[in-house]
Amino acid sequence: MALISLKNVSIRFGGQHVLDNIEFMLEAKDRACLVGRNGEGKSTLLRLMNGDLEPDSGSIVYAKDVKVAYLPQHMPQN
């Protein structure tokens, strides 16, 4: 059973696809690295997996008791 699974996930900003029908599965003991140019969707993918964004289509499934966290690029301004 995958810890997290994305199936046919798409999200748009301003009418343009940032992620288009992606599939991703992370199993226990897997290690993953996101690499890409600015604006390619790395942070958007992490925000989707963290639950900060909802996909326009597709599904994100979590195994029982899985917790997702990430460190944002910019610190919040107080």
Span between the terminal Cα atoms of the chain, in Å: 41
> For tokens 């107080």, what's the residue?
78
| pLDDT tens track for 26-43 | 999 999 899 999 989 998
How many angstroms separate the CA atoms of 14 and 36, rounded? 21
Tell me, what's the pLDDT at 22?
96
Q: Extract the residue ranges of the chain whose pLDDT is less than 70.
A: 75-76
Tell me, what's the pLDDT at 6?
97
What pTM, to 2 d.p., does this model score? 0.84
